[in-house]
Structure 1
Amino acid sequence: MLIRRTWIILLFLSIVSVYGHEITSNTLQPYLDGIKKLVENQQFPKLEDLLAERANASGEKRIDVNLELYTYYIFKSTEFAKKYNDEANALSKDLNYEKGYLRSIGNQAFIYFIEGQFDKSMELACQLESNEKLQDFSKIKADTETLKSYIFTERGEYDLAYETALNLLEEGDDAEDSYTRMRAYSAISHFYLRLGEYEKALDNCLHGLDYILELKEGRFIFPKIDEIARMTHKLKGSKEALEIYDFYLELEESIEAPGDYIQSVVYMNIATIYIEELELDKAQDFLNKAFDIIEANNYRFRKPRAHVLMALLHLKQGDSITAQKDYNNAYQSAKEIKAFDVIKEVSKELSLLNKAMGYSDEAEYFTSLYLSVSDSLFSVESEQRLRILEARRRISEISRQKEILEIKSKSQEERYRLLFIIFAITLISGFFATLSYFKVKRKNKLLFYRTKELAVEKLNQKKRVEIGEVKEVKTSVAKASTTKSYLDEDVKEIILTKLNRLEDEAFFLNSKCSLHSLAEVLQTNQKYLSQVINHEKNANFSNYINDLRINYLLNRLLEDKEYRNSKLAYIATTSGFNNLNTFYSAFKKRLGILPSYFIEKLNEDEAKRSF
C-alpha cells in the first residue's frame, strides 16, 4: 500500500513540479545588482567601533555588543568569536537576560558545527530547542532549526534535514516572517546542494536571497554569492561561475572580506573550476591557500572535501599514488566528524582506484563500505519519506498559490471598485471645477472691465482738473476741517498740503519709502503723519502707499503699451514694489485680479479695437 501511494505521489510530482525553469545570466543579474546596491547603501559594523562601544557598555548592552562581536568574528576567527560569546553567556546568566543567554547557546552550537563537532553542535541545538522561552525569539529559533538541518545534511540524514527545513518554512509562511523564511530556504538549498540537485538548490538559494535583500542582512551576502557561483558552475559551466566569482572578488575590495571560513570554501570552489578546465597550476594555488586557512583555523568541517579536491587534482596530474593518499586522508577526516555523505563518495573512489592499482583487498573493503553507507543513507523508507516530504511541500506551495490568486482576485475586484469610485469623484470634481472655472473667469472679466473703467475715468478726471489742482487740494483740506478735530488744524493742513504735493511728485515709487523717511521729508513726526493718513486718506500707511502705486500703475498701463509688455518683475520694481510677491498680493487685494490677467485683457481689448 505504501509503495502504491509513493508511485501516486511521484506521478503527481511529475505533473505539478514547480522546478525546472532554466537559470540564465538574465535570471541572476537582478540579484547581483540587488547585492551591489545593498553593499553600497549599508553601513557594515567596524571592529574599532564595536570594541569602543563594548568598553563603555554595561549590563544587557554589553551582552548585545559581545554578541555583535561574535557575529563579526565567527567567519574570521572562531577563537575570538568564542571569547566574546562566552562572556555574553556568563553575563546573561548573571543578569538573567534570556535573549542573550539563548543566543549565546545557539552561537556555541554553530561554533561546534564549523569545527566539525556535529554531535556537540546537535546536543546544544536540541537543548536550546527544549527551552520553552525559545518560542518568544523567532530569529534564534529559526537559526537553531537551520543549524539542525545543516547537521542532518552533513551526516547524510537527508529525510530529517529536509523535514526540519520544511517545517521551518511552513512556520515562516504561517507567521509571514521573512527572517524565518530566509533561513529555511538556506537550509533547503544546502540540502539539495548535497544531493547534487543543483537546479533546485539554486532556486531555493535565490528565494532566500530575496529575503536577504528585503531584510538588508548583509552578513549573509558573501556565502550566498559563493553558493550561487558553485551551483551556476554545475548548471551553466565554468565561464559563468568565474564571472560570479569575479563579482565576489570585486565586492571584497569595497567592503571587508567575510573571513577565513568563507574564504576557504571559495578557494576550494574556484579550484574545482580550474581542475575541470585543466588549469592545474591555478587549481593548485587556490587549493594551497584553502589548506593553509583550514589548517590554521582547524576547520575540521572543511578538511574532507579539501582532501577530495586534492585527490582529483593529483589524478589529473597523473599521480595515482598521491591521489590515493589524499582519498585516505579525506576518508579519515570524514570519519572523525561523521560526514557519511563524504565517506560514501570517498569509499567509492578508493574502491575504483585500489582496483585499478591492483590492490584487490583494499578495493573489496571500500566497495563493501560504499554499499553499507549507501544502504544506511538511502534506505527505501528514507527515500520514500523524502518524496512524500517533497510532495507535501509542493502541495503546500500550490495551496498557497491558490490562496494568493484568490486574494489577488478579491484585491482586483476591490481595485476596480476603487477605480470606479475615483473615476466618479474625478468626474464630479471635474464638473464642479469646470463650473467654478467659468464662474471665476466671468468674475475676473467683470472685475477687469470695472477696474479699467474706473482707471480710465480717473485718468480723464485728472486731466480735466490739472488746471485747478491747487483749488482741489484746498477743497480737500477745507472738507477735512469739518470733521472732528484729532490734530491742530494748522498742523494738519500743512502736513496734508505737503503730502498731496509729494503724491504729485510720485514719492511712492521709491521702494524704500517708509513712514519714518516720509515724516523726515515732510519735517513732522511719525505720529502726526500716521494720524493724517489714517483720517484723511482712510488707510494705514502700507495700504495708502500700495494704493498710490496701483493707481499710478493702472494709468501707465493704460497709456504706455511698451511698458505694459515689459516683464512683470520690471513693472513691479518701477512701481515701487520690492518684489513680485508683494506686487501680486497688493494688486490682487486692491482689484481682485492678478496683474498678468489685467495686462493680458488690456492687450486683447486693444487688439480687438485695432482689428
Structure 2
Amino acid sequence: MKNMRYFFLLFIGYCNLLYSQNSLFENLNKYSYEELENKFYSYKDNNENEESRIIAEFYIKKAKKENKDKKYIAEGYVLNHYNKDLPVALKYIDSLEIISKNLQDEIYPARIYLFKGMLYYNADNLKLALENYVTALKYAKEKKNTRQIAIADLQIAYLNGYIGKPQEAAKVLKYYYDNSGSLTNEDIQHIQINLASSYLDIDEFGKAEKLIKNGLHYTLKNNEYVRYNRYLSLSGQYYLLTKQYPKSIEILEKTKAYFLKNNIDLDANYAMLYLGQSYAESKNKDKAVENYIKIDSIVQKTNNTFPELRDVYSYLIDYYKEKKDKEKQLYYIDRFLKINSILDTQFRYISRELPKKYDMPKLLSEKEEIIKELKNKKYLSYTTIGILCLLLIFIMILFVKAKRKENEYKEIARDLIKSVSEKSHSTENKTENEVIANQEIFDSEKNKLPDEIVEHILKELKMFEEKEQYLKTGIVVDNLAKKFKTNSSYLSKVVNIYKEKSFPNYLNDLRIDYALIRLVNDKKLRSYNFSVIATEFGYNNEQAFANAFKKRTGTTLSTYLKEIESQP
C-alpha cells in the first residue's frame, strides 16, 4: 500500500506539472516575439531552466507555424541551444548557421562562431573555444560590427584570465568597462564581475572591493540571485586574500549552499576552493579536506577542470600522507596525475612548469612505491625490498641524467642570452674575406658557375638577409630561386659554397639566429604561445620551430624562454 500511495503521489505531481506547462504555453500566446525573448532571458539568468526551456520551445513552434520573418526562426534556434548538452546545442547552432545564410544581417556569421566558442568553453575545450573566438573576431571586423568585436575581445580576455593571465585580462576588461558604447547593460555587468575577479588575482584589492560592493547592491536590488551569489563568492575570496578568515568562511558557506542547491557546478567548485583555503589557513584541515573532496566528486561528474585543481589534489595527497592512509593517498595521486594530464593539454601556457611540490618523476616514483607496499603489506621480504631499492636507484639514475641534461640546456641558454646581450646584432653572414677564402677553397666548384650569376645570387642573398625576408613562411629553394630570377641548382650551389651549408640549414640558421635576439628583447612576443611564436619566425608549426631551435642551439626553446624570464 505504501508503494501504491507513493505511485499515486508521483502521478498527481506529474499531472500538475503537465497542467502548469500547458497553462504556461497558453499564457505565452499573448506575448510578442520580443516579449518572449525578454521573459526567456529573465528566467535563464536566474537559473530557472525549466521555465526558460518551455518558452524557447514555444517560441520556435510559433515562429515556424506563422512562417514569419526567418530571423524569428533563427532566434528560436538560439534560445533552444541554451542549457543543452554540447552535441544537441551544436545541432541548433548548425541549424542557425544554415538559416542565417539567407538573412541580410551584419551579425552573421560572427554570431555563429561566438556561440560555438562559448559552447566549447563551457565544455572545457579551450582550444576549440579560442579558435572560434578568433574566427568570430575576424568576421566581426569584416562587418565592422563594434559590439561583436568587443564581445570576441572580451571572451578571449575571459579565456586569458581562466588560463592564468589575469593581468592581460584585466587590461581588456578595464578598456571595455570604460568604453562601453556598443555594449548592453548585461554585457557591462558581466565585465564588472570578471574585472573584479581579475583585480583579486593581481592583488588590486581596493579596486576589486569597490566593484564587488557595487555589484552586490545592483544585483540584490534587481533580484539577480545567481549573479548576487557570484559577487558574494568574490567577497569571500577578498576576505580570504586579506586574511580575514572568519568573514570569508561565513560568506563562502552561504554561496556554497546556494550554488550546490541550484546545480551551478563551476561556481560551487570555486566557492569550495576558497572555502577550503580559508579553513586551511584557520588550521582546520578536516573542513578544508571536506570541501576539496566535494570538489573532486563534482569534477568527476562534470569532467570540467580548472587550473587550481592542482592545489586541491596536492593538499589531499599531503593530508592523507600525514594520516598514513595509503589507499586514499594513492587514490588522490592518481586523480592528480589524471587532472594534470588534462591541464597540460588544456593549459599549455601554464603547465610548462612542473608543480612545485610534486614534480612528475618524484610523484610517479612515490606512486610505484605505494602500490608495491599495498600489494605486499603482509608478505614483505628482503627480496621485495631489494627489488624496490634497485627500482628506486634506477629511477634516481634516470632522474639525475635528466637533471644533468636540463642543467646543460640551461647553461647553453644562459651563454646564448649573454651573447645576445653583449652584441647588438649577431649573424653568421660571411665577410668579404671569408667569401674570398671560400672561393679559393671551392675553386673547382666555383669554376663551374658563371661569375655574373654568382655575383647576382650573392647580391640577392644579401638583400634577402638584410630585409629579413627569411621570416616569411613557405620558403623553399625553388620559389626563392624564381624570385631571384635564377634556377634552384645555381642557388643551391652558391649557398653550399659561399655559406658552407645546405639551403634548408642556411634558412633555419638565419631564422633561429634572429629568434635568439628577438626573444630576448621582445617581452610581449614571449608571452604568446609556441605556435604564434613559430609563425613569427617563418615556421608553419611549433614542432618544426622547436626542432630547428634545438638543432641550431643545442638547447630547447622552453629552456631558453625560462632562462630569459629568470634574468634579473
TM-score (norm 2): 0.51
Q: CA deviation at 1:110?
A: 2.9
Q: Which has the higher helix share?
A: 1
Distance 1:126 1:101, change over 3 A: same
Q: Indicate the residue corresponding to 2:502 in structure 1.
A: none
Tell me how far apart the structure 1 counterparts of residues 97 and 339 of structure 2 sit (CA, whole Å). Answer: 29
Structure 2 residue 358 is matched with structure 1 residue 388: no
8 Å Cα contact 1:143-1:183 kept in structure 2: no
Structure 2 residue 66 is matched with structure 1 residue 66: no
Structure 2 residue 195 is matched with structure 1 residue 241: no
8 Å Cα contact 1:155-1:340 kept in structure 2: no
Q: CA deviation at 1:202?
A: 1.4
Tell me how far apart the structure 2 counterparts of residues 263 and 393 of structure 1 sit (CA, whole Å). Answer: 44
Structure 2 residue 165 is matched with structure 1 residue 197: yes
Q: Indicate the residue corresponding to 1:175 in structure 2.
A: 143
Tell me how far apart the structure 1 counterparts of residues 243 and 347 of structure 2 sit (CA, whole Å). Answer: 41
Distance 1:146 1:263, change over 3 A: farther
Q: Indicate the residue corresponding to 1:362 in structure 2.
A: 328
Q: What is the CA deviation profile of residues 49-92 of structure 1, one whole-angstrom value per residue up to 9, with x for unaligned ones?
A: xxxxx97976xx72221012112332123333333222212212
Q: CA deviation at 1:244?
A: 1.9
Q: Indicate the residue corresponding to 1:256 in structure 2.
A: 222
Q: What is the CA deviation profile of residues 477-535 of structure 1, one whole-angstrom value per residue up to 9, with x for unaligned ones?
A: xxxxxxxxxxxxxxxxxxxxxxxxxxxxxxxxxxxxxxxxxxxxxxxxxxxxxxxxxxx
Unaligned runs of 5+ in 2: 1-25, 353-527, 539-568
Query: 137-146 or 223-232: which moved more?
Result: 137-146
Q: CA deviation at 1:146?
A: 3.1
Distance 1:394 1:306, change over 3 A: farther
Structure 2 residue 284 is matched with structure 1 residue 319: yes
Tell me how far apart the structure 2 counterparts of residues 185 and 292 of structure 1 sit (CA, whole Å). Answer: 33
Distance 1:214 1:320, change over 3 A: same
Q: CA deviation at 1:167?
A: 1.5
Distance 1:341 1:163, change over 3 A: same
Higher relative contact order (CA 8 A, sep 6+): 1
Distance 1:118 1:206, change over 3 A: farther
Q: CA deviation at 1:250?
A: 4.5
Q: CA deviation at 1:381?
A: 11
Code of the aligned partner of 1:223? H
Tell me how far apart the structure 2 counterparts of residues 88 and 360 of structure 1 sit (CA, whole Å). Answer: 56
Q: CA deviation at 1:169?
A: 1.3
Distance 1:181 1:349, change over 3 A: farther
Distance 1:56 1:231, change over 3 A: closer
Structure 2 residue 61 is matched with structure 1 residue 93: no
Tell me how far apart the structure 2 counterparts of residues 317 and 368 of structure 1 sit (CA, whole Å). Answer: 28
Code of the aligned partner of 2:531? I
CA RMSD of aligned residues (A): 3.6
Tell me how far apart the structure 2 counterparts of residues 301 and 126 of structure 1 sit (CA, whole Å). Answer: 27
Distance 1:350 1:293, change over 3 A: same
Tell me how far apart the structure 1 counterparts of residues 333 and 324 of structure 2 sit (CA, whole Å). Answer: 14
Q: CA deviation at 1:339?
A: 0.4
Q: What is the CA deviation profile of residues 87-144 of structure 1, one whole-angstrom value per residue up to 9, with x for unaligned ones?
A: 21221222234322332332333334xxxx5555455445544655487555475555
Where do 1:526-565 residues align within 5 Å? none
The one of 305, 324, 335 equivalent to 2:270 is 305
8 Å Cα contact 1:355-1:363 kept in structure 2: yes
Tell me how far apart the structure 1 counterparts of residues 128 and 205 of structure 2 sit (CA, whole Å). Answer: 33
Q: CA deviation at 1:227?
A: 1.0
Q: Which has the larger radius of gyration?
A: 1
Q: CA deviation at 1:360?
A: 3.4
Q: Indicate the residue corresponding to 1:563 in structure 2.
A: none
8 Å Cα contact 1:268-1:286 kept in structure 2: yes
Where do 1:7-156 residues align within 5 Å? 62-76=32-46, 77-97=48-68, 98-112=70-84, 117=85, 120-122=88-90, 124-126=92-94, 128-129=96-97, 133=101, 136-139=104-107, 142=110, 144-156=112-124
Distance 1:276 1:57, change over 3 A: same
Q: Indicate the residue corresponding to 2:370 in structure 1.
A: none
Q: Indicate the residue corresponding to 2:390 in structure 1.
A: none
Distance 1:274 1:147, change over 3 A: farther
Q: CA deviation at 1:164?
A: 1.6
Distance 1:127 1:216, change over 3 A: closer
Tell me how far apart the structure 2 counterparts of residues 165 and 394 of structure 1 sit (CA, whole Å). Answer: 24
Q: What is the CA deviation profile of residues 182-226 of structure 1, one whole-angstrom value per residue up to 9, with x for unaligned ones?
A: 220221022111111001111232344466x21251122222211
Distance 1:96 1:232, change over 3 A: same
Q: Indicate the residue corresponding to 1:38 in structure 2.
A: none
Tell me how far apart the structure 1 counterparts of residues 108 and 250 of structure 2 sit (CA, whole Å). Answer: 39
Q: Indicate the residue corresponding to 2:563 in structure 1.
A: none
Code of the aligned partner of 2:78? G
Distance 1:324 1:380, change over 3 A: closer
Structure 2 residue 371 is matched with structure 1 residue 228: no
Tell me how far apart the structure 1 counterparts of residues 106 and 325 of structure 2 sit (CA, whole Å). Answer: 54
Q: CA deviation at 1:153?
A: 3.6
Tell me how far apart the structure 2 counterparts of residues 56 and 339 of structure 1 sit (CA, whole Å). Answer: 36
Q: Indicate the residue corresponding to 1:159 in structure 2.
A: 127
SS in structure 1 opposite 2:235?
Answer: helix
Distance 1:325 1:252, change over 3 A: closer
Q: Indicate the residue corresponding to 2:293 in structure 1.
A: 328
Unaligned runs of 5+ in 1: 1-53, 396-611
Code of the aligned partner of 2:264? Y
Q: CA deviation at 1:276?
A: 1.9
Distance 1:375 1:247, change over 3 A: same
Where do 1:426-465 residues align within 5 Å? none
Where do 1:583-598 residues align within 5 Å? none
TM-score (norm 1): 0.48
Q: CA deviation at 1:305?
A: 2.1
Q: CA deviation at 1:378?
A: 2.8
Code of the aligned partner of 1:371? L
Tell me how far apart the structure 1 counterparts of residues 251 and 162 of structure 2 sit (CA, whole Å). Answer: 22
The one of 217, 221, 233 equivalent to 2:184 is 217
Tell me how far apart the structure 1 counterparts of residues 347 and 286 of structure 2 sit (CA, whole Å). Answer: 39
Code of the aligned partner of 1:69? K
Code of the aligned partner of 1:62? S
Q: What is the CA deviation profile of residues 157-178 of structure 1, one whole-angstrom value per residue up to 9, with x for unaligned ones?
A: 3322222211111221222111
Tell me how far apart the structure 2 counterparts of residues 153 and 184 of structure 1 sit (CA, whole Å). Answer: 13
SS in structure 1 opposite 2:193?
Answer: helix
Code of the aligned partner of 1:370? F
Distance 1:391 1:102, change over 3 A: farther
Tell me how far apart the structure 2 counterparts of residues 310 and 273 of structure 1 sit (CA, whole Å). Answer: 12
Q: CA deviation at 1:301?
A: 3.8
